[in-house]
Amino acid sequence: MAALFDRERANTEAQMAAEQQERKKYSERVTQLEESLEEQKRLAKESKREVGRRRTLFDDEMAQLRQAHAREKRAWEEDLDRERNTVRALKDSMAQNSTAHLTMEATNSALRTEVQRLQDQLRESQQRTADVEAELIKQREAVVEIEGELREAESLRRKLHNEIQELRGNIRVFARMRPALQHQGNSLATVRFPNPKEARSIEILSAGESATGTATMRTFQFDFDHVFGPDATQRDVFDEVQHLMQSVLDGYNTCVFAYGQTGSGKTHTLEGSGLPTANYEASSVSEGAGLIPRAVQMLFATAEALKDKGWSYDFSGSMLEIYNETINDLLGKADPKSTTPVKHEIQHEKGRTTVSDAVVLPLSSPQQVFALLSRASARRSVAATLMNERSSRSHSVFTLRVRGSNSTTMESCDATLSLVDLAGSERLANSGSGDDPRRLKEAVSINKSLSSLADVIAALGQGKAAGHVPYRNSTLTWLLKNSLGGNSKTLMLTSLSPVAEHLGETVASLRFAKLVNGTIIGTAKKVRASE
């Protein structure tokens, strides 16, 4: 029984120990749960505080959003009001535009009709343009054909022009009576010009006496290719000469020389009242311009016009002086008055005359020609005599060489224009040169060269019967050999003084001119570039 009691007690103790153990665990568990609950309470408090804080933030955000919403609402309401106003304005505008649209439709309809009409006109214009273009093609073809005919006509004109010049004679003679100066009005010779329309004759009346002592009037009549009275202008003279100048561009050597006594107006006829200045306009020359500026202007202008026919020309020039039988190059650097002048030789070859060491300058415009002539004139030998305050004491020869080629017809030419201002013939007693040894030497040299010129002309007039032609008797005639010997178209301009005191010299000049006018020297030949 005791054992059972002990076992029971032991079981009870074991059970109590187990319960205590269980109670301890439970107590620990309760403690843990309390601690966990306290932690959860703490966390719940913190979460509550965080929720409160976030709620506060949320309330602030909500307040801000409500304010922003209120602002946006006001803005949208304002926009809506504006849009409503805009809509009302648009409705009003639409009402107005509706009326305008009806008007525009009517206008558009009218414009469509106008466009259709314009399109019809355009088609008609295009058709007319096509017709015009077709006609233009025909016209261009016709122009090409006409240009060919013009080139042929130009060649024919050149041929006929030179045939006319040949019929008129290779040496043509013009006579020109200069007007009287103011102080010469009461001392004029009696001169008449019969048949002024033909302008070919001049009559000089000279007082004399018969074998019985009766006073008589002798009449000297001379006929030339043309006679210019005192009223003739520089233009009148050039109008008669310009056809001869054309021969230069056609390839024929041409020579014009002025002859006459001192003070008869030779230089005035050739140069006029001074050469043009740098302000010269190529389209015109002054009324007082002489033969040289007018010829230069015409040659350059004609050469420019002939470009359309395929011609291209090059010009070059030289200026020489024959003083006391010596040639001076007026364009050279040497002083013509030097005691040791440069010696120049005259050479003739194949119809062309050249002078050794003479300066030849290329010329591209009339202004360059006039500058050349002014430069040369300033170096020419002149002096005062009783008959002329500025008498030329030398012969001057201006030579303009013209070389041309035609790229279309393959023609070419190479010719020269020689313009010769002869020193004035004079009687020593009248000019006063006999009182000055230097002037005397000049006068003798001038008269000798002019006498040699007369001898050459006389020999040429006799033809083969004369045999030898004395070209070498003077530097002047030797230089002009090709101009006088049939290889050039030549014109002599005889200048005459109207003063009674000079009547003897005037008649002598006219007689020499008559001799020249009756001289036949042959037919000039065209000079080609290859010659």
- Residues belonging to the binding site for ATP are 260-267
Contact 264, 181 (CB under 8 A): no
Q: What is the CA radius of gyration of the chain?
A: 59
Taking alpha carbons only, the member of 414, 416, 413 closest to residue 400 is: 416
Please list, in sequence order, all residues whose beta carbon lies within 8 angstroms of the beta carbon of residue 362, skipping any fewer than 6 positions away. 314, 315, 316
| C-alpha span between 139 and 330 (Å, rounded) | 54
Q: Would you list which residues are annotated within the binding site?
A: 260-267
Taking alpha carbons only, the member of 235, 162, 230 closest to residue 488 is: 162
Q: DSSP letters of 299-340?
A: HHHHHHHGGGGTEEEEEEEEEEEEETTEEEETTSSS-TT-SS
| C-alpha span between 493 and 255 (Å, rounded) | 11
CA dihedral of residues 498, 503, 506, 512 (deg, nearest 10): 160
Residue type, 181: L
Locate 136 and state its tokens: 């233009």
3-state secondary structure of 347: strand
Locate 468 and state its tokens: 């030898």
Q: How far is CA 43 from the centre of its chain?
A: 111
Contact 400, 417 (CB under 8 A): yes
Would you give the DSSP letter of residue 393?
Answer: -
Taking alpha carbons only, the member of 514, 494, 498 closest to residue 191 is: 498
CA distances from 26 to 36, 41, 73, 285 (A): 15, 21, 65, 147
| C-alpha span between 346 and 336 (Å, rounded) | 17
